């Protein structure tokens, strides 16, 4: 069977114990919506392992997670700062020119939990 990489982010304001509880709820919802085997979603991960790694950017965290997450193992959570100034793929109308521009990132500078997992599919 195959696998797919899944990722999500949550505010770093959430304590680690609450993060584990939140992720368990995400897994339960995924299994409810997509089944209990080979769905390719977070429900296929073996829980959540919170790592002490802290990254200066989301991109660095994503690169580390993609290199370190393993199929059939727990999802991994690390901390990163959201340095993205715009949200790629999100457009808004510039009020001054009516042109469509990239949407500014409202979370710019925020500390986030980045969670990644390689999920069987």
Q: Is residue 88 part of a domain?
A: no
Question: Cα separation of 83 and 92, whole Å?
Answer: 20
Confidence at residue 44, expressed as pLDDT on a 0 to 100 scale: 83
User: Is residue 34 classed as helix, strand or coil in its secondary structure?
Assistant: helix
| pLDDT higher than threshold 70 for residue 88 | no
Confidence at residue 8, expressed as pLDDT on a 0 to 100 scale: 92
Percentage of the chain with pLDDT > 70?
A: 98
φ/ψ of residue 29, rounded to 5: -65, -40
Question: Cα separation of 115 and 74, whole Å?
Answer: 10
Domain count, the chain: 1
Q: Is residue 45 part of a domain?
A: yes
Confidence at residue 97, expressed as pLDDT on a 0 to 100 scale: 87
Percentage of the chain with pLDDT > 90?
A: 54
Confidence at residue 1, expressed as pLDDT on a 0 to 100 scale: 66
Q: Is residue 19 part of a domain?
A: yes
Which of the two residues, 63 and 121, has the higher pLDDT score? Answer: 63
63: its two tokens: 């690169």
Mean pLDDT over 95-114 rounds to: 86
Q: What is the mean pLDDT of the chain?
A: 89
Question: Cα separation of 59 and 80, whole Å?
Answer: 9
Q: Is residue 14 part of a domain?
A: yes
What pLDDT, in 10s, does the model give residues 24-71? 999 999 888 887 777 778 888 999 999 999 999 999 999 999 999 999
Say if residues 62 and 97 touch (Cβ distance below 8 Å): no
**Range of 44's domain?**
3-80+108-120
Confidence at residue 17, expressed as pLDDT on a 0 to 100 scale: 95
Q: Is residue 63 part of a domain?
A: yes
């Amino acid at each position: 069977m195959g696998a797919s990489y899944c990722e999500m982010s949550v505010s770093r304001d959430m304590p680690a114990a609450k993060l584990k509880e939140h992720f368990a709820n995400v897994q339960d919802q995924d299994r409810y919506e997509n089944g209990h085997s080979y769905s390719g979603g977070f429900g296929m991960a073996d829980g959540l392992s919170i790592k002490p790694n802290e990254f200066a950017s989301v991109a660095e965290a994503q690169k580390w997670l993609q290199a370190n997450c393993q199929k059939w193992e727990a999802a991994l959570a690390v901390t990163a700062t959201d340095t993205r100034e715009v949200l790629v793929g999100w457009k808004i109308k510039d009020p001054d020119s009516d042109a469509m521009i990239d949407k500014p990132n409202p979370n710019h500078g925020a500390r986030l939990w980045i969670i990644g997992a390689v999920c069987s599919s």
